[in-house]
């Protein structure tokens, strides 16, 4: 019982620290790259993460190099930071659920990917409906 309580407390502290680190980095990057949007910052982080594991053989541009060096000098793994940003950039609700420990990071990641897929499916369905309407309109003119 005591060990479970300790493990729960440890996980609570760890999740809160992860959230604090991610928010601190987000504020730092907003200050460093104030001319960039959130989407552009995520793209830069993605490039740093792929460069770190040599998944893509593209050299980093100057701003990405600055971000990459900042992450390494402060002992952050670029890929881990990229995953944090993906999780925490989605919703305030998910962020709160992670803070209150009702959702783990892995579960949050699954929720995020499911929402992205649902949005893509709904866009595809809307496009197909519009195409179907257009075709019927064209056929009715003949």
The residue ranges of every structural domain in the chain are 2-141
Please report the sign of the dihedral spanned by the C-alpha atoms of residue 88, residue 93, residue 98, residue 103. negative
Residue 15 has pLDDT above 80, yes or no: no
Measured in whole angstroms, the distance separating CA 116 from the mean position of its chain's CA atoms is 11
- pLDDT-derived band at 128, boundaries 50, 70, 90: very high
**Angle between the 2-32 and 62-73 helix axes, to the nearest 10 degrees?**
150
Rounded to whole angstroms, the Cα distance separating 9 from 12 reads 5
Angle at 75 between CA 9 and CA 12, to 5 degrees: 10
In this structure, what are the phi and psi dihedrals at residue 3, rounded to the nearest 5 degrees?
-65, -40
Report DSSP state, residue 139.
H
Is pLDDT larger for residue 15 or for residue 30?
30
Quick one: average pLDDT of 57-65?
Answer: 84
DSSP, res 142: -
Q: For residue range 81-120, what is the model confidence (pLDDT) as tens digits?
A: 888 887 776 667 777 776 676 777 778 778 878 888 898 9
Quick one: pLDDT at residue 80? Answer: 84
């Amino acid at each position: 019982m005591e060990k479970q309580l300790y493990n729960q407390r440890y996980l609570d502290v760890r999740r809160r620290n992860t959230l604090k680190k991610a928010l601190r980095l987000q504020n730092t990057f907003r200050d460093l790259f104030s001319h960039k949007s959130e989407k552009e910052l995520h793209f830069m982080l993605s490039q740093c993460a792929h460069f770190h594991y040599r998944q893509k053989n593209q050299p980093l541009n100057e701003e990405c190099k600055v971000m990459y060096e900042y992450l390494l000098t402060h002992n952050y793994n670029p890929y881990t930071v990229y995953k944090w940003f993906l999780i925490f950039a989605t919703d305030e609700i998910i962020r709160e659920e992670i803070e209150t420990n009702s959702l783990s990071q892995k579960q949050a990641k699954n929720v995020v990917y499911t929402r992205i897929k649902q949005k893509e499916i709904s866009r595809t369905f809307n496009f197909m409906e519009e195409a179907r309407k257009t075709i019927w309109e064209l056929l009715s003119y003949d």
